[in-house]
Every structure is written in structure tokens, then in C-alpha cells.
């Protein structure tokens, strides 16, 4: 049995033990899948701190619902679904908070929105121009392609592994990665891209409303 098969078997055993209430086994699953979960969360939220919050909540939800998982070998994809849903809810809630904050600011100052729409940890990106440009480049991608890119670059997963997590075909992953890389290259090597205003194309609409 190869290493990958052994690891898969071990993960299935951990899932089975977790379903029986073994918290230690579930903690091991957290260690094994944390990077994957962060990748998926980041691809939705676009923010590291928010991704960390999402992953924290998602694993707690997974622990509470692990009895619903019938097939242990599908734990990764099942977990990514939970992460994505939590991330979408978090992003929507944040958009509401941003809108409310903006309205309160306008009421208080009687002026337009603050010059920068960025709030929270995104401010850190401003200190590193390269990171900001890369993040802007990723922003242009649709959510699924962004997830594939992040899973490939951060977790170094194969197309087959990414396909299993995202629930799409491996050939679709390859195509998306190819297109995404081309877009990244055009964005990063082309003329200076406009300042990120937080808009995203694809499934998740506007994070910051103008």
C-alpha cells in the first residue's frame, strides 16, 4: 500500500473515531486539514484574519455534525463545504457591518465614505506592495478558480486532490488553473493595476458597496 493510500486509511480511521466522540482523533483531523480549510476560507473572504475566524467556526460545526457524515472518505469535501458556507455567511455579515459603519460615518461627519474602504487586517497589505498586488490579482478570479489557485499554491495539492475537495472534475481544475495563471500573469506583469476597492467577480458579489 502506498503512502497516499496509508494516509487516506489513517484519515478514515480518524474520522470513524471522531464520529464515536473521540475528541483527540478530531484534533488530529484539524491538524491534517487546517491548511486546506484556510485555503478555501481565504478564497472566499480574501482576508487572512477572517479566514482564520471562519476555519475556527467551521471545525466546531464539523465536530457537532460529524455524525451526519456517512462516508468517512469524503471528509475533506464535506469539510470544505462547511468552510465555504461559513465563509460566505461571514463575508455577507462583514459587508453589512461595513455598510452600517459607512452610514454611521456619513451621519457623523456629513461627508462621503472614507478614502480607503479597507478595514481590519487588510490594512496590513498596504505595507507590502507586492502582497497587495498579488491579492488584487487573485481578486479578479472567480471563487472556484481562486480556491483552486490557493489550494495549489498554499497547500501544493494535485489536480485530483483539488477536484475531490471542490467537487469538480480534475480536468476542470486543470483548465481553471491554466486560465487563472494566465490572468495572474497579465495582472502582475501588465500596467499598474487600479487600487483594490474590494470588488470581486464571480459568485461572491461586492464586499464593499460604493
Partner 1 sequence: MSRNTDQDNLDESDNPAEIDAAVRSMLAAELDPQRGRARRAFERHIASGGMSSNDVAMPIRQGRRHGWFIGAVGLGLAASVAGALLWALPRLSQPVSPSVAMPSHEQGLPGESTKTPAVMPDTLPSVLASDDSRWTEATSDVTTVLMPADTLVVEGHTPARFVRQVGMERREWFDEQRGVRVEAVVPREEVRLIKLDTY
**Residue ranges in contact with partner 1 by CB under 8 A:** 3-4, 7, 19-21, 23, 26-27, 30-39, 42, 47-49, 51-52, 55-56, 58-60, 63-68, 76, 128, 130-131, 134-135, 138, 149-150, 152-159, 161, 177-178, 181-182, 184-185, 188-189
Collapsing DSSP to helix, strand or coil, 69 comes out as coil
Burial of residue 109 (CB within 10 Å: 0-12, 13-18, 19+) is exposed
Q: How far apart are CA 71 and CA 69, in angstroms?
A: 6
- Rank residues 84 and 102 by Cβ distance to partner 1 and give the closer one: 84
CB of 111 to partner 1, least distance (A): 32
Q: What DSSP designation does 117 have?
A: -
- Rank residues 36 and 98 by Cβ distance to partner 1 and give the closer one: 36
Q: Which three cell numbers stand for residue 65?
A: 455534525
CB of 41 to partner 1, least distance (A): 9
- Rank residues 31 and 107 by Cβ distance to partner 1 and give the closer one: 31
Q: Which three cell numbers stand for residue 202?
A: 464571480
CB of 126 to partner 1, least distance (A): 13
- Rank residues 56 and 116 by Cβ distance to partner 1 and give the closer one: 56
Give residue for cell 454611521.
Answer: 104
- Rank residues 102 and 177 by Cβ distance to partner 1 and give the closer one: 177
Give 126-143 as a 3 state SS string.
CCCHHHHHHHHHHHHCCH
Buried b (16+ CB within 10 A) or exposed e, 1-31: eeeeeeeeeebeebbebbbeeeeebbebbbe
CB of 209 to partner 1, least distance (A): 24
CB of 60 to partner 1, least distance (A): 6
CB of 5 to partner 1, least distance (A): 10
- 47 Ramachandran zone, left/alpha/beta (phi>0; psi -120 to 50): beta
- Rank residues 174 and 197 by Cβ distance to partner 1 and give the closer one: 174
Give residue for cell 462516508.
Answer: 71
Amino acid at each position: 500500500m502506498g503512502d497516499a493510500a496509508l494516509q487516506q486509511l489513517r484519515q478514515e480511521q480518524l474520522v470513524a473515531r471522531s464520529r464515536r466522540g473521540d475528541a483527540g482523533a478530531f484534533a488530529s483531523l484539524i491538524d491534517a486539514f487546517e491548511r486546506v480549510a484556510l485555503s478555501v476560507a481565504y478564497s472566499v473572504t480574501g482576508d487572512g484574519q477572517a479566514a482564520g475566524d471562519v476555519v475556527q467556526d467551521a471545525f466546531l460545526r464539523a465536530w457537532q455534525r460529524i455524525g451526519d457524515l456517512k462516508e468517512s472518505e469524503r471528509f475533506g469535501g464535506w469539510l470544505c463545504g462547511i468552510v465555504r458556507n461559513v465563509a460566505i455567511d461571514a463575508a455577507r455579515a462583514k459587508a453589512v457591518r461595513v455598510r452600517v459603519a459607512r452610514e454611521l460615518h456619513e451621519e457623523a461627519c456629513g461627508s462621503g465614505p472614507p478614502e480607503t474602504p479597507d478595514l481590519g487586517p487588510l490594512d496590513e497589505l498596504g505595507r507590502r506592495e507586492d502582497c497587495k498586488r498579488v491579492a488584487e490579482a487573485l481578486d479578479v478570479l472567480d471563487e472556484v478558480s481562486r480556491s483552486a489557485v490557493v489550494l495549489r499554491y498554499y497547500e501544493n495539492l494535485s489536480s485530483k486532490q483539488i477536484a475531490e475537495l471542490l467537487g469538480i472534475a480534475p480536468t476542470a481544475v486543470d483548465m481553471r488553473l491554466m486560465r487563472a495563471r494566465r490572468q495572474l500573469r497579465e495582472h502582475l506583469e501588465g500596467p499598474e493595476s487600479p487600487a483594490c476597492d474590494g470588488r470581486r467577480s464571480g459568485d461572491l458579489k461586492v464586499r464593499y458597496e460604493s
